[in-house]
Amino acid sequence: MNSNRPLNVMQLLPALEGGGVERGTLEMARAIVDRGWNSIVMSAGGRMVTQLEKEGSIHVTAPIGCKSPLTLLQLPRLLSLCRSHSIDILHARSRIPAWLAWFAVRFLSSKDRPVLVTTIHGLHSVNFFSSIMTRGDHVIAVSETAREFALEHYPKLQADRLHIVFRGVDPREFPRGFHPDKDWQNQWFEKYPRCRGARLVCLPGRITRRKGHLEFVELIAAMRQRDARVLGLIVGSWDPRHKSLVDEIKAQARFCGIEKSLIWAGHRSDMQSIYAICDLIVSLSQKPESFGRSMLEPLSMGKRCAGLDHGGVGEVLEHMFPAGKLSVRQNVQQWADQCMGLLESKSPFPLANAFPLGDMLTREMTLYEEWANHRMNNDIL
């Protein structure tokens, strides 16, 4: 490695359709380019590729997210990219891409071998397959929750290889006190007229069983018993394979008598405007999450939030809005009581953003540079 040249960083992830990991990848890629380094991202593609390339990164389309031995057929291509682009940092953000990267570095000579970095974005099931996320030369945990999880379940992971880099949100993208313009509001209320005068409670995120959509239906039903102005807003896409879950959520809403009190907005790219018109944003993930980005974004805007007090969601709320922590030991009726209290004007507002994006980007890029220089010095020796 030549310390005088810009670093070459390649990030690997399954796809770029949407989600917290994907947004973090784009944010990191943008920072790499702004630094004057070279950014390459390999994934199966998706709706976010256009933005990635517009911001100066190279995207390599490859099916590297499929849980199949056939994914290893992409190994020669990855090896070629590492050599031709002189990759310094090979950063895997998901399990299948991490296995591919792990095999790749073992086929490369010492002069071509990049530093392998893995990030624990999720609290995956504990098994040999998931252990790959702890096998990088360096391992990043996105929260204290993720760090403790890794050290508890993977005792072979040395603490000096594990580094906390908290995820972050750009306060310019989710500014405190933001209000959408009149054109946006007119379009929204024309499409969703039931929202006018309603008390909107939003559950953002991809529709999967672990995100708590069934519990959300029960929560909205319980809140409407206390105030008929409450409407539930579900924002997020779903995989066609999960249509049965969507049908189950709709059936639950019919059973609870609130089918017409739920609004399905699908995937949206204007979340700051949606958060701004909501009265409360909730997270009901039954399984602890590694980080609470769905809470951090609206909290950054000063919006009241409520989420189950475990994992990264509880961690974010503890720093910025303790009043919004819902006990996992309580039932839906008790959650509804607490959420109704948060809707009152006398309830507190969130504290300032404790996890700014700039801190995350600076920390991660400093580590990239440190690791690349260490590898270079060892090669020289």
Could you state, in order of their start, the residue ranges of all structural domains in the chain? 8-168+357-380, 182-343
Closest of 268, 271, 220, 213 to residue 242, by C-alpha: 213
Find the mean pLDDT for residues 162-186: 95
Beta bridge partners of residue 140, listed in sequence order? 119, 163
Average pLDDT over residues 116-138: 95
What phi and psi, each to the nearest 5 degrees, are found at residue 64?
Answer: -110, 15
Give the CATH number of domain 182-343: 3.40.50.2000
Fold agreement (8-168+357-380, 182-343): yes
Helix, strand and coil content of the chain, in percent to the nearest 5, comes to: 50, 15, 35
DSSP alpha helices (H): ranges in the chain?
Answer: 20-34, 49-54, 75-84, 95-107, 144-153, 182-191, 213-226, 243-256, 271-277, 293-300, 311-320, 332-343, 357-380
Q: Check: CB of residue 59 under 8 Å from CB of residue 44.
A: no
Task: Please give, one letter per residue, the 3-state secondary structure of 197-258.
Answer: CCEEEEEECCCCHHHCHHHHHHHHHHHHHHCCCEEEEEECCCCHHHHHHHHHHHHHHHHHCC
Q: Which residues pair with 262 in a beta bridge?
A: 232
What is this structure's pTM? 0.86
In CATH, what number does 8-168+357-380 get?
Answer: 3.40.50.2000
Short-list 133, 137, 132, 128, CA closest to 147: 133
Residue-wise pLDDT for 273-286, tens only, equals 999 999 999 999 98
pLDDT of residue 239: 80
Please, which pLDDT band fits residue 4 given cuts at 50, 70 and 90?
A: low
pLDDT tens per residue across span 259-271: 999 999 998 989 9
Q: Does the pLDDT at position 295 exceed 50?
A: yes
CB of 95 closer than 8 Å to CB of 66: no
User: What pLDDT score was predicted for residue 381?
Assistant: 35
pLDDT value for 292: 86
pLDDT mean across residues, the chain? 94
